[in-house]
Amino acid sequence: MPGNMLSKGEVFVIDTDAASREQLSAALQQSAYDVICFADGASLLSEARARMPACVLLEMPPDRSALDVLRRLREENCMAPVLVTSANGSIAMAVDAIKSGAADFIEKPFRTRDVVNRIDAAIDEFGQPNSNRQRWLPGCEPLTAREGDVLEHLAVGLTNKEIARRMHLSARTVEGYRASILKKAGARNVTDLLRRIFGQGSPTQM
């Protein structure tokens, strides 16, 4: 981190690729973050019990063990935003990560600057006073704050890529949120969802 900059907090990182770790560490330090890299989830969890990071960046291995780390962080009341990365991502994996408490899901290979921007955005989102608010659909399970934001963008006709760009998320993450919203609402697709919201189950009037 440049010597004349105040630290924006610590970012805990698990990434098995040495080159990725070095690039991320350099970029995060340049952006005034302190970086602590961990070899495994157990050591990260142990450190997270001692102090709260500003953000956590978890690589998802093929065995999906990062989901267990993510759930443990939430169970132990570590409320820092967690971003999950994967070289073998899928929509199902993104949905699982989001359901387990991830703020974003980023596919590899990624541009280091994009990851830093998403970390900034996630920290800003979690730091807002109303970031824990929930929104309701009639007769459905409450939506999380991020799901509510995605729904608002869907309602004005934005595509996944457009929503991702506006919310500083990956398109795969937005797909995960959309799938979760549809499941909670019991809707077949976005059109069906919007009919339920705005038309109360009846066809919308054009």
User: Mean pLDDT across the chain, nearest whole number?
Assistant: 82
Note whether residue 206 is domain-resident.
no
Q: What pLDDT is stored for residue 26 in this prediction?
A: 94
45 and 116 co-located in one domain: yes
188 and 110 co-located in one domain: no
Residue whose C-alpha is closest to residue 124's, from 112, 116, 136: 116
| Count: domains in the chain | 2
155 and 86 co-located in one domain: no
24 and 39 co-located in one domain: yes
Note whether residue 164 is domain-resident.
yes
Per-residue pLDDT, averaged over 51-67, amounts to 89
**Tens digit of pLDDT for each residue in 4-24?**
567 889 999 998 888 888 999
Q: What pLDDT is stored for residue 171 in this prediction?
A: 86
Q: Pick 161 or 131 by higher pLDDT.
A: 161
Q: Pick 174 or 126 by higher pLDDT.
A: 174
Note whether residue 205 is domain-resident.
no
* Separation of alpha carbons 204 and 132, rounded Å: 31
Query: Would you list the DSSP string of 37-59?
Result: E-SSHHHHHHHHHHS--SEEEEE
Residue whose C-alpha is closest to residue 11's, from 78, 59, 77, 57: 57
